Structure 1
Amino acid sequence: MTGKLSRALAVVSLLASTSASAQEEAQALESSARDERRGLELTVGVGFQVGAGYVYREGAGLDRQVRDLKLSDAANGGIAFLLEAGYRVNSRWYVGAFGQYSHVLTKTNPYTCPEGYDCSTSQIRFGPHVQYHFAPDASFDPFVGLGVGMVLLNNKVSGPITQPAPGTVEIDSQSRGPEFVNLTLGGKWRLSDSLSFGPYLTGTYARYTTRSGTSTVNIPAVNLTQETPLEQVGDGPYGLLMLGVRGTWNL
């Protein structure tokens, strides 16, 4: 009887050990599958941006005075709309491209947007970037992103003039330049296997290096319409800071 009991216990022990090993192997395979998860990702976001630095240096404003134009002179910040698309190489690494459109909140000032003038400004940023995710399988996944890009600034101003005679002026300008670096810190709460949502903070360093556009003066009294190219200005180094929220879909 003792021998039969011993053999039965041995069989039970063997079965338990085999079951545990199988479970551990299944968990290891599942974890490995998560680590090797790949696929396309699409992200949309919205945030608020502020900036410091210069739009240009040594340029003439509407008052014809030559000065350096700071971002703080011309804008009260902006509302930024973000779009990212890329490929998740594995659970930790992502490679893709970003695009951002910002509606700039223009500020009334005597240099670029005097009282009574109609002023509108928008900015476009785009370029490649990469992300590293620290806890891809956790409920909250912090990440850091690094990228470079180009920036386009479009500005339109129109309003009345009194010199050399009563009339109107319309200025249409485009400034552009490289974004040398952008750094993003953020995190994602996992809402489902394919959807996550969370905050982000992006800082940039860039420079406007080229300005083009026209100034059109219209004087009805003498039936005159004159269009002239804008004068060149000095480079405008600046930095931006964007704070917002973003949602990501794993396709």
Structure 2
Amino acid sequence: MTGRLSWALAAAIALGSAGASAQEVATYSAPTGLEVTVGLGFQAGAGYVYKNGARLDRTVGDVKLSDAANGAVPFLVEVGYRVTPNWFVGAYGSYSYILTKENPYSCFEGWECAASQLRFGPQVQYHFSPTASFDPFVGVGFGMVLLNNENSGPTQVQVGPGAPVTANLKLKSQTRGPEFVNVTVGGKWRLGHSLSFGPYLTGTYARYTTRSGDTTLALPAPLPTTTTPLGPAEDGPYGLIMLGIRGSWNI
């Protein structure tokens, strides 16, 4: 009698545990609906801002990304819809604070130099394991890129037969063009029913095709201040790599 009671008790415990596990699995459903992602990382690039254009040192030539920057810090935002648990369709945008550096072509020693980059466009992602604790994914997109620069500082100007005078030169420019493709690989650890986070790696190929802006030369009073538009330059092809962490919220 005691043996039968022990067997019955063990069976009841096993059934109860299985039912609890099944209920726990059932409580998590695959994500669908609106999804918002934010991210932070580090950005490096190779290629050109422009080619065969007028540079700050009054020469004509190329300006590379590596000439003007030590990288950048991108802030990422994605908004879209999980059409199915596996497929996400939406848009991306990123703002990058560029770590400028002194160089003879765009930022002389002792100058104040600031630059930022804005990227945006549509994208699609495929998630391989949307119900697992870790969900790897791959994404593809394209879009536009805007690069803003503002550099200023003292420069020597010859205005007559005497010694040169010190003037203030300010250069403001916006360089823009298409981002032909970007590819992102990454993964997300699930923190709950709606939150997840994980690493990402993005590679892009793009080209700066349009450059606009001006230079302002402020001479000591009573000499005049003059503003002239930037000269022409050839397109600048380049690529970027971004590595960071991102978090997602399914609404």
In the superposition, the TM-score normalised over structure 1's length comes to: 0.86
Q: Deviation per CA, 1:162-198, whole angstroms, max 9, x where unpaired?
A: 1133211111100000000000000000000100000
SS of equivalent to 2:119:
strand
Distance in 1 (CA, whole Å) between partners of 2:151 and 2:60 is: 18
How far 1:232 sits from its partner (Å)? 1.4
CA RMSD of aligned residues (A): 1.8
* Mapped pair 1:83 → 2:74: no
| Pairing of 1:49-64 with structure 2 (within 5 A) | 49-64=43-58
CA contact (8 A) 1:119 1:157 kept: yes
SS of equivalent to 1:200:
strand
AA in 1 matched with 2:77: L
AA in 2 matched with 1:133: H
Q: How many aligned residue pairs are there?
A: 224
CA contact (8 A) 1:75 1:107 kept: yes
| Pairing of 1:66-105 with structure 2 (within 5 A) | 66-105=60-99
| Pairing of 1:123-202 with structure 2 (within 5 A) | 123-164=117-158, 165-202=165-202
Structure 1 runs (4+) greater than 2 angstroms displaced? none
* Mapped pair 1:235 → 2:229: no
* Mapped pair 1:106 → 2:100: yes
Q: Deviation per CA, 1:10-40, whole angstroms, max 9, x where unpaired?
A: xxxxxxxxxxxxx9xx99xx69x946x5210
- The aligned residue for residue 224 of structure 1 is 224
Q: What is the aligned-residue identity percentage?
A: 64
Distance in 1 (CA, whole Å) between partners of 2:104 and 2:123 is: 38
SS of equivalent to 1:166:
strand
- The aligned residue for residue 18 of structure 1 is none
Distance in 2 (CA, whole Å) between partners of 1:95 and 1:208 is: 26
CA contact (8 A) 2:54 2:232 kept: no
SS of equivalent to 2:157:
coil
How far 1:128 sits from its partner (Å)? 0.3
- The aligned residue for residue 113 of structure 2 is 119
CA contact (8 A) 1:54 1:238 kept: yes
How far 1:247 sits from its partner (Å)? 0.3
How far 1:60 sits from its partner (Å)? 1.5
| Pairing of 1:25-44 with structure 2 (within 5 A) | 34=29, 37-44=31-38
Distance in 2 (CA, whole Å) between partners of 1:222 and 1:204 is: 49
Distance in 2 (CA, whole Å) between partners of 1:117 and 1:187 is: 41
Q: Deviation per CA, 1:73-108, whole angstroms, max 9, x where unpaired?
A: 110000000000000001000000000000000111
SS of equivalent to 1:80:
strand
Distance in 1 (CA, whole Å) between partners of 2:84 and 2:222 is: 68
In the superposition, the TM-score normalised over structure 2's length comes to: 0.86
Q: Whose radius of gyration is greater, 1 or 2?
A: 1
**Structure 2 residue ranges without an equivalent (≥5):** 1-18, 159-164
SS of equivalent to 1:72:
helix
Judging by fraction of residues, say which structure has more helix: 1
